[in-house]
């Protein structure tokens, strides 16, 4: 039976974009997907697809990996940069499975090998669409959570206990808090917990995602503007500092604010005053500032990209959220929580895990931290057929990054990218030297600055010790 794709009665039918440079492959995939009720469009290159998605919304993109010009992997990176919400299914030749797994690390939903099995393609696309819907629901719930319930923070490891105590201590004060930690560790969640437990909880929590804005837009976003302040400013506009009056403002990824604007931000922190762009009227900021970064802010200061005085102002109270691999005790609790939440949203019983699967999840390194675990569990819940999941079925998703506890760099599996190999070697060496950067750099035969640069690239947080000085 054909389903009308415009109705959402079936939650896994949607709009699909097929990208492949081979006409025949493209058309046969499109045919299969149309047969099952999807609304399908095709593109013959990633570049063309990037144009098309500027106008159109798709729930799923099926893309070939090997294409002339931009390949499927680069395409995924571009989609991610544009924060395009579609789920991606990668089509690959058997020989390039390691690239397909790499694609999944960049957020692809799954991959399918050529020559592809029609049923599997159909099933994967449906699952991808359902997964996307679930992720969307989670995002909405999070946004609602901004104003409604206090955020749920799972984990009873010692590290999480310390973090909760610090949150309790700092929340009632009006101090500025700098929350550091790798990507996906829960920095935003911590910020929301602080706001919820503060005296300003009744006021708004306004957040500004700094990386997505140009310098020019950011100033007007933060402070607002008057009519005619610049070309295109047709009407006056309230900035986030005004919108957050009586509440808190969260400057997400604060290092992305450029130097001239950092000076203005410093003034707000010191004098609690600011002006809208194009105005001389001084306004008072009745706002508590919370900021996050996944960079080494001290290194940013050392390299002249971040103002030192602003750093000290922001880091009045530094809070560090440790990476998940340093609090593996939290993993079973988090898994359980995410399994139940996914099940609730899918309207079915939570799927269960064999002990081998549990163990696998605890031993995995989770480079994307809690967010990666959350996505993983959502995906496993969507894919599960109701039988308990064993390690074997999970391993497929984690294939390349599997990191047994006592693995040494010599044991690295074939199929690992050079970049990932480098990251692991650096991590292992850093661990060996107890986090001592000079010794680590010496052992690796590189300069400390190069090492810091690489660590920053991997999303390492500032050193706890140097930050403590600011406290």
Binding site for ligand ATP (CB under 6 A): 152-155, 181, 183-189, 292, 294, 370-371, 374
CA atoms of 365 and 384, how far apart (whole Å): 23
Q: Report which of 187, 189, 171 is spatially closest to residue 179, judged by C-alpha positions.
A: 187
Task: Give min distance, CB of 168 to Mg ion, in A.
Answer: 21
Task: Give min distance, CB of 403 to ligand ATP, in A.
Answer: 20
Task: Give min distance, CB of 36 to ligand ATP, in A.
Answer: 31
End-to-end CA distance of the chain: 65
For 114-142, b/e burial (b = at least 16 CB within 10 A) is eebeeeebbbbbbbbbbbbbbbeebeeee
**CB-nearest residue to Mg ion:** 188
Stretch that binds Mg ion, among 122-130, 185-193, 339-347, 401-409 (CB under 5 A): 185-193
Task: Give min distance, CB of 183 to ligand ATP, in A.
Answer: 4
Collapse the DSSP code of 405 into the 3-class scheme (helix H, G, I; strand E, B; otherwise coil) and give the result: coil
Closest to Mg ion by CB, 188 vs 221, is 188
Cis peptide before 115 (omega within 30 of 0): yes
Q: What angle do CA 323, 201, 268 make, to 5 degrees?
A: 80
Closest to ligand ATP by CB, 153 vs 391, is 153
Q: Report which of 248, 232, 229 is spatially closest to residue 146, judged by C-alpha positions.
A: 248
Please count the other Cβ atoms lying within 10 Å of the Cβ belonging to residue 87: 26
Collapse the DSSP code of 98 into the 3-class scheme (helix H, G, I; strand E, B; otherwise coil) and give the result: helix
Contact between 188 and Mg ion (CB under 5 A)?
yes
Task: Give min distance, CB of 139 to Mg ion, in A.
Answer: 13
DSSP code at position 460: P
Task: Give min distance, CB of 185 to ligand ATP, in A.
Answer: 4
Closest to Mg ion by CB, 71 vs 176, is 176
- Residue recorded with tokens 């299969």: 32
Q: How far is CA 146 from the centre of its chain?
A: 18
Q: Of ligand ATP, Mg ion, none, which one does residue 155 interact with (CB within 5 to 8 Å by kind)?
A: ligand ATP
Q: Of ligand ATP, Mg ion, none, which one does residue 184 interact with (CB within 5 to 8 Å by kind)?
A: ligand ATP
Contact between 372 and Mg ion (CB under 5 A)?
no
Q: Of Mg ion, ligand ATP, none, which one does residue 176 interact with (CB within 5 to 8 Å by kind)?
A: none
**CB-nearest residue to ligand ATP:** 186
Closest to Mg ion by CB, 124 vs 208, is 208
Stretch that binds Mg ion, among 61-69, 180-188, 222-230, 407-415 (CB under 5 A): 180-188
Closest to ligand ATP by CB, 135 vs 360, is 135
Closest to Mg ion by CB, 188 vs 372, is 188
Bridge partners of 205, per DSSP, are 248
CB 102 within 8 A of CB 400: yes
Task: Give min distance, CB of 252 to Mg ion, in A.
Answer: 5
Contact between 226 and Mg ion (CB under 5 A)?
no
CB 53 within 8 A of CB 17: yes
- Residue recorded with tokens 């599996």: 413
Task: Give min distance, CB of 36 to Mg ion, in A.
Answer: 37
Q: Of Mg ion, ligand ATP, none, which one does residue 189 interact with (CB within 5 to 8 Å by kind)?
A: ligand ATP
Rg (CA), the chain: 24
Residues that bind Mg ion (CB under 5 A): 188
């Amino acid at each position: 039976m054909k389903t009308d794709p415009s109705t959402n009665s079936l939650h896994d039918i949607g709009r699909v974009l097929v990208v492949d440079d081979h006409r025949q492959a493209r058309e046969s995939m499109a045919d299969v997907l149309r047969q099952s009720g999807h609304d399908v469009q095709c593109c013959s290159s990633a570049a063309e697809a990037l144009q098309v998605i500027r106008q159109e919304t798709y729930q799923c993109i099926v893309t070939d990996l090997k294409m002339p010009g931009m390949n499927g992997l680069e395409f995924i990176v571009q989609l991610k940069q544009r924060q395009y919400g579609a789920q991606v299914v990668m089509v690959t030749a058997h020989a390039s499975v390691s690239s397909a797994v790499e694609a999944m690390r960049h957020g692809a939903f799954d991959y399918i090998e050529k020559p592809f099995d029609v049923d599997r393609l159909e099933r994967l696309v449906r699952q991808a669409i359902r997964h996307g819907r679930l992720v969307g629901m989670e995002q909405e719930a999070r946004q609602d959570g901004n104003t409604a319930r206090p955020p749920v923070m799972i984990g009873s490891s010692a590290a999480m206990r310390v973090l909760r105590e610090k949150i309790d201590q700092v929340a009632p004060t009006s101090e500025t808090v700098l929350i550091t930690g790798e990507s996906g560790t829960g920095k935003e969640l911590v910020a929301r917990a602080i706001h919820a437990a503060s005296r300003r909880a009744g006021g708004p929590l306004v957040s500004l995602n700094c990386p997505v804005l140009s310098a020019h837009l950011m100033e007007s976003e933060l402070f607002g503007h008057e009519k005619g302040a610049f070309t295109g400013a047709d009407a006056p506009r309230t900035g986030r500092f005004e919108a957050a009056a009586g509440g808190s403002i969260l400057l997400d990824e604060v290092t992305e604010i450029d130097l001239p604007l950092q000076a203005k931000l410093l003034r707000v922190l010191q004098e609690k005053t600011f002006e809208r762009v194009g105005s001389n009227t001084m306004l008072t900021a009745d706002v508590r500032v919370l900021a996050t970064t996944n960079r080494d802010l001290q290194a940013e200061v050392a390299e002249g990209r971040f103002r030192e005085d602003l750093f000290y102002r922001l880091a009045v109270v530094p809070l560090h959220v440790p990476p998940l691999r340093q609090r593996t005790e939290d993993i079973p609790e988090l898994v359980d929580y995410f399994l139940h939440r996914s099940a609730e949203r899918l309207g079915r019983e939570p799927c269960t895990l064999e002990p081998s699967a549990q163990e696998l999840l605890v031993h995995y390194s989770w480079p994307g931290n809690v967010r990666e675990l959350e996505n993983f569990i959502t995906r496993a819940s969507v894919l599960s057929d109701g039988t308990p999941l064993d390690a074997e079925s999970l391993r497929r998703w984690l294939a390349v990054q599997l990191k047994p506890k006592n693995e040494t760099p010599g044991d690295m599996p074939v199929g690992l990218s050079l970049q990932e190999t480098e990251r692991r070697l650096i991590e292992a060496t850093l661990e060996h030297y107890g986090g001592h950067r000079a010794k680590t750099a010496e052992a690796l035969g590189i300069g400390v600055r190069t090492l810091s640069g690489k660590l920053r690239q991997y999303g390492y947080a500032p050193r706890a010790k140097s930050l403590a000085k600011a406290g």
